[in-house]
Amino acid sequence: MEAQAPRRFEFDYNAGGQPDPRVLAYLAEVAAGCRGNASSLHTTGRRARGRLEEARERVAAALGVPAASVVFVSGGTEANNLVVLGHGDLSRPVLLAPSEHASVLAPAAHRGAVEWAVDATGSAVVTPPPDPVGLVCLVHGQSEVGTLQPIAAAGALARALGVPFHVDASQTLGRCALDEVVATADTITLSTHKAGGVVGSGVLIDRSERRSPLLHGGGQQRDRRPGTEPVALCLATALAVELAVAETASRATAMRRARDAFLDALDLATSPGVHRVTPAHSLPNTVMLRFDDVTDGRQLLPALDLAGIDASHGSACSSGAPTPPAILRAIGFDDAASRRCVRFSFSPTSDARYAADGGHLLCAALSRLRTS
């Protein structure tokens, strides 16, 4: 008889989770019937166009935005690059915080950036820039520490400056209400594979009038994202958005319950050397911990992996970077302290017992690491 695989504790949901079975089933269903190119003028092409516009209208209805603002993209990195490198006055820098994802920070460095400071929790200290800027960016939920950012204040400043305001909501779709983001931002990034969708899918909400195309060669999606649209994937993305928005409250409750059960199992009050980095006002599924009594933080993730726990130091997109996440440096951690930080993030299907069992396993792994 084949040996049963060891149980794994998947506590890295912020990097991407398993697609919702309902989304996968729907994708298989619509893919079988989607034919043709949505840009073609013949009957088959017009049918494909009709299904594509159906997907666009469904996303718009779920979020409460105009259908014309919905742009289907491959994910958060593409959406953020399209905005940072193509929106606002490109001769002027981007105003942002070190809390941003690498897909905002890197293109902003190419264009020119002015940074806000952050407080001890990682929250941006929103203040007017010393010189004119062309775009304001602020992530909704910080992907590593988990801090929820002051969206209303940043949006008000952008309006006062007369520049577009971009919000990266990759980590908050299906976890936090997006009403404030939708009411405030000109452009919004949604990474649906972090909310039950399929990898390679995402949405950019683009209500800005000051844009320059980043990609060229076709007029699809009103010249904002040329290329043949994958109609079936767009329909599945629409369902993922609909489900995430409708189930935000229940998913957030389940995630918070799992996170709290995990922390209860660790019992931080009686765990010397283990400190919570994530503030109270944060993503419901995320907690970053600092393990000060581990001599070499570089041993942490391999030890947890061997124990059966999936976790990370931060964003998967920056996992190979030689330097710590920018947000940790910004809140005052040196390289050694940053290497002792581990992010644990829980999915809506992580029940409390599962999370608690993972917490107990973490305690055992830490004990072995301390005595090795």
Residue 240 is given by DSSP the state H
Burial class of residue 366, CB neighbours in 10 A (0-12, 13-18, 19+): buried
Q: One-letter amino acid identity for 1?
A: M
Strand 94-96 to 135-139 pairing: parallel
Is 176 among the residues known to form the active site?
no
Q: Quickly list H helices, the chain.
A: 21-33, 43-63, 76-84, 102-111, 151-161, 179-184, 231-246, 248-266, 300-307, 326-330, 335-339, 352-371
CA dist., res. 331 & res. 250, Å (int) = 32
DSSP per residue over 105-136, as a string? HHHHHHH-EEE--B-TTS-B-----SS--SEE
β-strand partners of 311 = none
Whole-angstrom distance, CA of residue 349 vs CA of residue 163: 40
CA–CA dist 103, 118 (Å, integer): 19
Q: Which of 34, 317, 341, 363 is catalytic?
A: 317
Helix (H, G, I), strand (E, B) or coil at 343: strand
Look at residue 317 and give its three-state secondary structure: helix
Tokens for 128? 């007017």
Closest CA to 367 of 272, 288, 275: 272
Q: How far apart are CA 303 and CA 43, in angstroms?
A: 58
Instruction: Give the max Cα distance, the chain.
Output: 71
Active site residues: 317
